[in-house]
């Protein structure tokens, strides 16, 4: 069994007291949540033509149909929790810069993120592990850390309710703050929280994450997923998301078309590409007849990876329309003693954000000395070898029915990023566009 002695990220103020008995904390467990009222955002259901009764059955007098999902509900409520002192540190005070070089890796100095953590033994050789109620999980989170519920509407309209009863009809999806944030607006999407699902992708939950990216409607708001063995720190199903007003290096990397779903782009097929000129080998999925088709294919790929015990990370980009999947092996190399001491001393665990090019550094020295060469060397250790990646890729094609592109169609494509012009929320003080610092 491969293990690494490590300190888990603290994502909730209740994490360190997770083993205490009793409740009395207005938590997200079965003792408190079903009888609670929480803000509710229901996104439009595009699959249903109309509500047979002519109205959303959740409608209540305090509905606010005009709410801005990203700026008001996500970022505005996140700032409210910041003003209430619910975070372990003020991430908006952390220094950030774009590292000089061709790729534009982003470095952040976050000295508070590695403090106040409990040592643990974390298993890295099994992507699928059963949920353990004795360990910290999100049912132990206090409701003051919750921003809102995120559910599907019964009609083709989005609805917002300031106080909606949770009830027991269906397990709620909740969006909560990460109390040890990496960036401005850092939140957690926790699907069906009361079901206590392990960190394991399923099609329904993955589509929920894609829909959240679509509802945000900004290329600067991305969602990420880390499997066990790829630096997920909590074995309770969750996605992460935050706002950063610059493109990630991986979003600008050139790609090569390698496969498509049957039917091809002209018939609404999903296009699959391989990352080129980037330190981590990965697959890029885009297109399709709709977000559901794209989401279904990517979730099938993720299910294949986890069932074949291959650790992986996911980045949901471009408002849900572009999704990156990175099979990785850094934790495996770390456990086998194959990572250099220089890289280990930085204490950087390269998960979805780091792989995408946002390097969260914990020591002043590493931040001051950050270079493109360092970022490239670290991320290159994450990547599967070319031979192993090709093998995984072929298995994915076979399992999902993808059709390989012919040689004449096989050309390099420079990514077209949708980042200009940008709309930065007025309240976002951390990394406003036009105020980047290059080393």
Find out whether 327 and 300 touch, Cβ atoms under 8 Å. no
Cβ-count burial of 17 within 10 angstroms (0-12 exposed, 13-18 middle, 19+ buried)?
Answer: exposed
Terminal-residue alpha carbon distance, the chain: 42
Q: What is the rounded (10 degree) CA torsion for 249, 254, 258, 263?
A: 90
- Most distant CA pair in the chain: distance in Å? 65
Which positions are catalytic?
238
Find out whether 126 and 228 touch, Cβ atoms under 8 Å. yes
Q: How far is CA 164 from the centre of its chain?
A: 26
Residues 6+ apart with CB under 8 A from 340: none
Task: Work out the number of other CB atoms within 10 angstroms of the CB of residue 64.
Answer: 13
Find out whether 96 and 108 touch, Cβ atoms under 8 Å. yes
Cα(210)–Cα(298) distance, integer angstroms: 10
């Amino acid at each position: 069994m491969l293990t690494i002695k490590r300190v888990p990220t603290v994502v909730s103020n209740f994490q360190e007291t997770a083993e205490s008995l009793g409740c009395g904390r207005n938590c997200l467990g079965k003792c408190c949540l079903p009888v609670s009222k929480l803000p509710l955002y229901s996104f439009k259901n595009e699959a249903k033509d109309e509500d047979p009764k002519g109205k959303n059955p959740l409608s209540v007098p305090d509905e606010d149909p005009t709410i801005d999902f990203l700026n008001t509900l996500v970022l505005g409520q996140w700032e409210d929790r910041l003003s209430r002192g619910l975070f372990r540190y003020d991430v908006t005070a952390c220094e950030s810069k774009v590292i000089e070089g061709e790729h534009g890796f982003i470095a952040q100095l976050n000295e508070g993120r590695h403090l106040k953590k409990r040592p643990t033994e974390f298993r890295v050789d099994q992507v699928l592990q059963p949920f353990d109620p004795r360990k910290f999980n999100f049912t132990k989170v206090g409701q003051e850390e919750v921003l809102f519920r995120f559910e599907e509407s019964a009609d083709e309209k989005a609805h917002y309710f300031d106080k909606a009863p949770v009830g027991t009809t269906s397990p709620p999806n909740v969006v909560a703050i990460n109390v040890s944030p990496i960036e401005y607006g850092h939140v957690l999407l926790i699907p069906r929280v009361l079901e206590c699902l392990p960190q394991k992708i399923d099609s329904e939950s993955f589509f929920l994450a894609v829909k959240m990216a679509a509802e945000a409607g900004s290329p600067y708001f991305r969602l990420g997923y880390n499997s066990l063995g790829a630096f997920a720190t909590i074995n309770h199903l969750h996605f992460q998301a935050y706002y950063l007003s610059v493109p990630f290096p991986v979003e600008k990397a050139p790609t090569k078309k390698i496969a498509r779903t049957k039917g091809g782009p002209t018939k609404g097929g999903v296009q699959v590409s391989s990352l080129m000129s980037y330190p981590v080998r990965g697959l890029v999925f885009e297109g399709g007849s709709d977000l559901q088709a794209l989401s279904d294919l990517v979730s099938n790929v993720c299910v294949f990876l986890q069932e074949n015990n291959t650790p992986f990370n996911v980045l949901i980009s471009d408002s849900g329309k572009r999704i990156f999947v990175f099979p990785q092996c850094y934790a495996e190399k770390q456990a086998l003693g194959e990572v250099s001491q220089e890289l280990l001393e930085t204490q950087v665990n390269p998960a979805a954000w780091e792989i995408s090019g946002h390097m969260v550094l914990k020591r002043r020295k590493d931040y001051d000395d950050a270079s493109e060469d360092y970022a490239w060397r670290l991320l290159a250790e994450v990547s599967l070898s070319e031979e192993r990646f090709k093998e995984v890729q072929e298995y994915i094609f076979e399992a999902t029915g993808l059709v390989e592109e012919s040689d004449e169609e096989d050309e390099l494509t420079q990514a077209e990023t949708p980042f200009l012009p940008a709309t930065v929320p007025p309240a976002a003080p951390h990394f406003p566009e036009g105020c980047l610092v290059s080393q």
